[in-house]
Each structure stands twice: as structure tokens, then as C-alpha cells.
Amino acid sequence: MSTLFSPVNLIAMVLFAAALAWRIYQVTRAPTVPNWAVTACVAGFAAAFLLQQPVLSGEVDALLGRGAARVANNALLACGLCALVIFFLGSAIGPRRYRRVVVELIPLAAAITLMIVAMDLTRPELRGLPLGPSTIHDNGVAIFYLGAGLYLIYGLIACAAWIVRYLRVADRNLRIGLRLSAIGLAGAAVGSICRALYIVVAWVFGPVVKILLLLGVPFVIAGGMLFLAGVTYPGVRARVSALRRRRQHRREHAALAPLWTVLVEAFPSIVLRTPPRGRGGVNRLHYRRVIEIRDGLVQLSPYLDADFGAVVAEDPAAAAAALRAALRRHAAGEASDGRAKQVLPAGADDIESDVRPLLALSAAMANGK
């Protein structure tokens, strides 16, 4: 089996795909600069991850020359990180953000230029090879990886610091994702620092301290996955909440049927004639049913006692009996007092708060048949 489909790579690809799909969805809904920046960040990281795979990097090197995939990989990482920095800057520094963004592009351009020059200085037989004891003492290799690593360290630390600042004002549902992202970026920064120390010690002083390189790899991998999990978490949580709400509304829609049916038979005009449109059909049908039931109760209220709303909260069975009696009086054409009454418990001032007493009343109506 190709290493492209190893368990770790598969997990990473799933996270990248989920994060990128969520960000593209957000951009289509709100094509703002912050949304574009985060989407560019995830896209850059995803592309860099793919270019790390030998099956793809080999094709790029064959097309553009040895070392091209390595340059592209590190340049995409730097661009993705720069996009994340720009996102935080654009959210924090107000009207002067565009000038500051231009300033932020200068170190990015310098880092990419340095990588290209360093790769050109590398001996042809070493171009594109990973960092290790056999390559570290080549000046081109050392400059390439050190230049790329220093920019990554700067960007990772800056973004982690921005996220920690945002934690103070973020809502509770967003904090988990932000914490995961901050821990992931900090972990990747630790790994990058270990790699930079490995390069400096070996290139400048001579000794190859393998433990620094060995420590750096798991920190970078784990940090990247945590960052992706943090970016993905709010979207996954939102989708799970939406699915849970749809299931709940579907159940409540069915549970309200006994009450809705008797009221529609008495007052056919309460049925809204405009068909539901757009997304969220289950939710819309649920809200329509609640509105129609509430309208039916209001029309029937002249036949109900003044304390009907309180009875609904305290004794749904008694309220159901009173409702049946009122429906019989209305069907028989008896006179009413002509005054609208409170038909729901006090405090039920929106659709969501209306649902609970209506569910109890509908269940009592069904049980009393």
C-alpha cells in the first residue's frame, strides 16, 4: 500500500478535506476578507501536505527539476501561515489593516526568495532530500531549511498568541476550537524550534544532535492535526447541532399533530397557504405548525376560561378537557363572551417557549381520545 494512504495520512486527509469544505462553505455564504484568509490558510496547508508525499513530489520534481517540490511545499506552508496572520491582523487593527498586510508580505517574500536561492546553491545530488545527518552540512541545505523554519516559527508563535488573545472574548462554543488550534500551533512551533536548533548546532558547530530532529517531527505532525481539528471543530459542532435540532423538530412536529388536527378542523383558515421555501424544510414545517396551533387557540379563546393559559402549565389533562368542551361549543354555534384570552402560560413569548406547553397539551388531547 502506498504511503499516501497510510493511517496517519488518511486521518490528515480527512481533517484537511473537512476543514477545507467547511471553509469553502463559509466563503460562499459570506465572502469576506477574514473568511478568504482562513480558507487560503487551510488550502495552503492541504496543498503543502500533499506535496510532501513521495508519489506527488516525484512527479513535480520530474516536471520542474529536483528540489522544486521541496521549495513548493515549504512556500505553501509559509503562504498558509501568512494568510492566518493576515486574518488576525485584519480582525484586530482596523482601517490601517491593508498597509499592515502589505508589510506582512515582505518577510514572506523574503523567506520564499531565500528558499529558492538556497535550493539553487545546493549541490544537485542533494536537492530535494530531507534534512538529516547526510545533508545538514551542505550550506544550501542548511540555509534552505533554516530560512523556511525561522519564518514558520515566527508565524506559528504570532498566530498562537493572537488566538490566546481571542480566547478572552470568544463565546463558549468557539473556545474549544480556538484552544485546540492554539495548542496545535504552539506544538508545531516547538517542533520547528527543535529543527532550527538541530540545523544551527550541526551547521555552525559540527555535532549532529539527532534527538532534536527526532523531537521536532512528532511535534509538527501532532500540532498540525490539532490545528486542523480546532479549525474543523466549530463547523462539525454546528452541523451536529443542526442535525440534532432537525431530529427534535421532526419529533415535535409529529407530536403536535393531535392538537393541530382538531384546531384545523375547527378553523381551516389557520393553515398558512404559502408553502415552505428554501433550506431547513423540517424546521420551517415545525415552526409553521406551532404558529398555526397558536392562531387556532387564539381564535378559540373566547370559548375558553380566562385561566386557560395557567391550566395548560399546571394540568394539561384538565386543559385538554376544557379545550374539547370549547371546541364542542364552537361547533354547535353557541355564543361566546367575545374576548380573547391568554392561551399559553405567562412567559411563553416566543415560538421555542410555546412548544413545551403545546406538546403537553397535544399529548393530553391524544390520550383523552
If you write DSSP's letter for every residue of 12-67 in order, what string do you get? HHHHHHHHHHHHHHHHHH---HHHHHHHHHHHHHHHHHHHTSHHHHHHHHHHH-TT
Asked whether the predicted pLDDT for residue 99 surpasses 90, the reply is no
pLDDT digits (tens, 9 = 90+) for 186-220: 999 999 999 999 999 998 888 888 899 888 888 98
Q: Which cell is 266 given?
A: 375547527
What's the chain's average pLDDT?
85
Asked whether the predicted pLDDT for residue 93 surpasses 70, the reply is no
Of the ranges 167-171, 345-349, 361-365, which one carries the lowest mean pLDDT score? Answer: 345-349
> What is the per-residue pLDDT for 56?
84
* Spatial distance between the Cα atoms of 297 and 320, rounded to a whole number of angstroms: 12
* Spatial distance between the Cα atoms of 286 and 269, rounded to a whole number of angstroms: 18
Higher pLDDT, 144 or 335: 144
> What is the per-residue pLDDT for 262?
92
> What is the per-residue pLDDT for 184?
92
pLDDT digits (tens, 9 = 90+) for 127-179: 988 888 888 889 999 999 999 999 999 999 998 988 888 888 777 778 888 89
Asked whether the predicted pLDDT for residue 4 surpasses 80, the reply is no
CA 356 to chain centre: 30
Asked whether the predicted pLDDT for residue 98 surpasses 80, the reply is no
> What is the per-residue pLDDT for 20?
84
CA 179 to chain centre: 13
The average pLDDT across 279-301 equals 85
pLDDT band at 242 (very low <50, low <70, confident <90, very high): confident
* Spatial distance between the Cα atoms of 239 and 247, rounded to a whole number of angstroms: 12
> What is the per-residue pLDDT for 1?
40
Phi, psi of 256 (to 5 degrees): -85, -5
The average pLDDT across 341-365 equals 79
Question: Largest Cα–Cα distance of the chain, in whole Å?
Answer: 103
Q: Which amino acid is at 199?
A: I
Q: Which cell is 110 given?
A: 523574503
pLDDT band at 94 (very low <50, low <70, confident <90, very high): low
Higher pLDDT, 178 or 22: 178
> What is the per-residue pLDDT for 199?
93
The average pLDDT across 57-81 equals 89
Higher pLDDT, 112 or 278: 112
> What is the per-residue pLDDT for 97?
59
Asked whether the predicted pLDDT for residue 230 surpasses 90, the reply is no
> What is the per-residue pLDDT for 114?
94
Helix, strand, coil share (%) of the chain residues, nearest 5: 80, 0, 20
Q: Nearest to residue 245, comparing CAs of 109, 355, 361, 108?
A: 355
The average pLDDT across 255-265 equals 92
> Would you say 159 and 81 are in contact if contact means Cβ atoms under 8 Å apart?
yes
Q: What is the pTM of this model?
A: 0.70
Angle between helices 210-255 and 172-200 (to 10 degrees): 170
Q: Which amino acid is at 338?
A: G
> Would you say 106 and 82 are in contact if contact means Cβ atoms under 8 Å apart?
no
* Spatial distance between the Cα atoms of 90 and 338, rounded to a whole number of angstroms: 60
* Spatial distance between the Cα atoms of 310 and 307, rounded to a whole number of angstroms: 5
Q: Nearest to residue 18, comparing CAs of 232, 223, 286?
A: 232
Q: What share of the chain in percent tops pLDDT 90? A: 28
The average pLDDT across 325-335 equals 88
* Spatial distance between the Cα atoms of 169 and 188, rounded to a whole number of angstroms: 25
